[in-house]
Amino acid sequence: MSIDMNVKVMYLNPIGTSAYDQVFADMASEYKYHDTTVHVTSLSSDSVPPTMTNLEYRAYEACIFNETVKAARYCSVHDYDALIIGCFYDPALLAAREVSGDTIVVGPCQASIAAALLLANNFSVIIGQWKWEHQMKNAVHEYGGRDKLVSFEAVDLRVEKFHQDQEQTKEKLERAAIRAVGELRAEAVILGCTLEVGFYRQLQTRLADRFGAFVPVIDPSIAALKAAENAALAKRLGWSNSRVWGMQPPPERELTDFRLLQTDIEFGNTLIV
């Protein structure tokens, strides 16, 4: 059986500014499969506050929930194989899946856990602030990782700070990872923010030097991209979204009657790589 490798993925940067779009586009360009096309897309500033640069708080996340669901619907109508919701909180993931048709919807947190547990028995997650721990811990438990989670390690950085002083970020990530592996016996490390993109290689090298053995460091943006591509290729084998019981979509007649999701979402910016 010859598998068509042409895959179309949307990487949704779920905020109303394009400030991070190029970061994710560079990541996609470097790590995507050759025949994959990635549309890095941010939400419209007409729908989401353009000065809201992060989703660190549930109140902020609530502001993008509706637009994320609309993006999933858009992908289902416009023949995207997969949609990545580019935040480690996996915001609106289950709601988006309900209306995504045959489009696979991927959350970076869930994808990172799956990647880590292919390579190790357990993992620690490096987060920016302790504020994130409660919500992310709930997600890890929901995804079946309760007994595999060693710890969360906070580095006292807001989302927008990760790339402002990269040397400082590297030092903070290294200290957190060394504690997780050396003191708490984590076998893998997950970077718990999509804007920790780009730091995993050097951190893996430093951990290998420190412990004399390889420790996988999972970059959630890359993990999500690989999960999306591989799920898209699995569709060629006939594996797609379940549509029974908890995965049952809302009836199309109701969506029409309720005047929901009847027109395309307008995005703010798109980069194609």
**How confident is the chain (273 residues) per 10-residue block, as mean pLDDT?**
87 95 97 98 95 96 97 98 98 98 98 98 98 98 98 96 93 98 98 95 97 98 98 95 97 97 96 98
**220/70 Cα distance (integer angstroms):** 23
Residues in CB range of 254: below 8 A, 6 or more apart: 260
Which pLDDT score is estimated for 1? 66
The verdict on residue 1 lying in a domain is no
Determine the structural domain holding residue 48 and report its residue range: 7-107+222-272
Token digits for 27?
A: 């990541």
CATH code, domain carrying 173: 3.40.50.12500
The verdict on residue 201 lying in a domain is yes
Instruction: Specify the DSSP class assigned to residue 270.
Output: E
Instruction: Give the predicted TM-score (pTM) of the model.
Output: 0.96
Which pLDDT score is estimated for 88? 98
- The total domain count for the chain is 2
Helices (DSSP H) in the chain: which residue ranges? 21-31, 58-62, 65-77, 93-98, 108-119, 133-142, 166-178, 200-211, 220-235, 252-257
Tens of pLDDT, residues 21-46: 999 999 999 999 999 999 999 999 99
